[in-house]
Amino acid sequence: MTDTALAIEARPSRVSKFGKWFRSDLRGAISLIFLSILVVMSALAPWISPYSPLAQDFDATLAPMSAAHWLGADDLGRDTLSRLIYGGTASLYASFLAVFVAILIGVPVGLVAGYLGGWVDEIISRIIDSFLSFPAIVLAIAVTGALGIGLTNGMISVGIVFAPQLARLVRARTLVVRHELYVDSARCFGASTSRILWRHVLPNTIQPVIVQVTLLLAGALLAEASLSFLGLGIQPPNASWGAMLARAYQNMEISPEQMYPPGLAILFTALAFNALGESMRVALDPTMKRR
């Protein structure tokens, strides 16, 4: 009975907490709404886009904005709005894939290095340093060249390149957490190393990781756009925002307005990811509240 009472009491307070954050941090809230709409639109792409992204209308090649084609059409007469929506699906999928790979590699490596310390930490840290001295996109291009060209391979490469950043962050945080009393007591109770890492260390390192992951999503989005622009990412006839820009660039002298929709889409989405990351950093870090 007391449990139910607590649950009922806890619920409105969480909602009102959210509402308070919403009002106090308008920029973060707008970013969150924008990104949510984007994700929903991407998921519903087949139902909301006016045309198929591959359907060609040869009467409309490089058409300007009109009632039939709200954002015009590309050089093959494909509807720009439809390609923008489908391209968003590809670009978002690519960003999440890259960051997922980065988490999958970076978090365990950082945990192990920080928790075990000693020569293991020394070796892993030097490897992280080495990876960080590569210009990111250049290494991603090289890895894509090795794995083979394509959106999935390209974003796995970006994930591999981003992983050391996360690993370094998790390592630094783990170094602090591993000497906390609750970790020592878990060890005294005979918990295995993997259980300590999973149940006690990881939950306490997660906050800065969430912030960094949000910022990395912006980086991954820009990386996808770069790789696809260079022809190393998504392959024709499929659309992503970067690939649309490459197409628009080839026809820039005839129809310069084609380069605005995908470019603005990338800019706003990257801005939103960055703003959301900054908001979370402030919200999660009590020492920054005073500013």
Partner 1 sequence: MFQSRKSSIIVRRLLQAIPVIVLSTFIVFGLLKLVPGDVAVTLAGDNASDARIAEIRHIYGLDRPFLVQYGSWLWKAVHGDLSSSLVSSESVLSSIERCLPHTMLIVVLAMLLALAIGIPLGIAAASRPGSWTDSFVMTIASLGVAIPNFWLGMLLVAFFSLDLNWLPATGATPISEDFWDAIRHAILPACALAAGGVAEVARQLRSSLVEILSSQQVRTLHAKGLRPSSILWRHGLKNVSVNLLTVISLLFNRMLAATVVVEAVFAIPGMGNLIVNGAIHRDFPVVQGVVFSMVLIVVTLNLLTDVLYSILDPRIS
Residues that bind partner 1 (CB under 8 A): 126-127, 129-131, 133-139, 141-149, 218, 222, 225-226, 229-232, 242, 245, 248-249, 252-253, 256, 259, 263, 266-267, 270-271, 274-275
Closest separation in Å from C-beta 8 to partner 1: 41
Smallest distance, partner 1 to C-beta of residue 139, A:
7
* CB closer to partner 1 out of 39 and 127: 127
For residue 130, the minimal CB distance to partner 1 (Å) is: 4
Nearer to partner 1, 128 or 201 (CB): 128
- Judged by beta carbon, residue 88 or residue 242, the one nearer partner 1 is 242
Q: Print burial letters for 23-62: b (CB count within 10 Å at least 16), e (below 16).
A: eebeebbebbebbeebeebbeebeeebebebeebeeebbb
DSSP per-residue letters across 215-228? HHHHHHHHHHHHHH
Q: Report yes or no: 234 and 151 within 8 Å, Cβ to Cβ.
A: yes
**Residue nearer to partner 1 on the CB measure, 231 or 236:** 231
CB closer to partner 1 out of 197 and 243:
243
Q: Are 225 and 234 contacting, i.e. CB atoms less than 8 angstroms apart? A: no
Residue 66: CB minimum distance to partner 1, A: 22
Report how far residue 94's alpha carbon sits from residue 234's, in angstroms, rounded to the nearest whole number. 9
| Residue 67 backbone phi and psi in degrees, to 5 | -65, -35
Residue 202: CB minimum distance to partner 1, A = 27
Task: Look up residue 121 and give its two tokens.
Answer: 């930490």
- Residue 201 or 239: which CB sits closer to partner 1? 239
Pick between residue 39 and residue 136 the one whose CB is nearest to partner 1.
136
Minimum distance of partner 1 from residue 213's CB (angstroms): 17
**CB of residue 146 to partner 1, shortest distance in Å:** 4
Which of 164, 171, 129, 277 lies closest to 217, judged by CA? 277
Quick count: other Cβ atoms within 10 Å of Cβ 274?
A: 16
**102 touches 216 (CB < 8 A):** yes
79 DSSP β-pair partners = 73
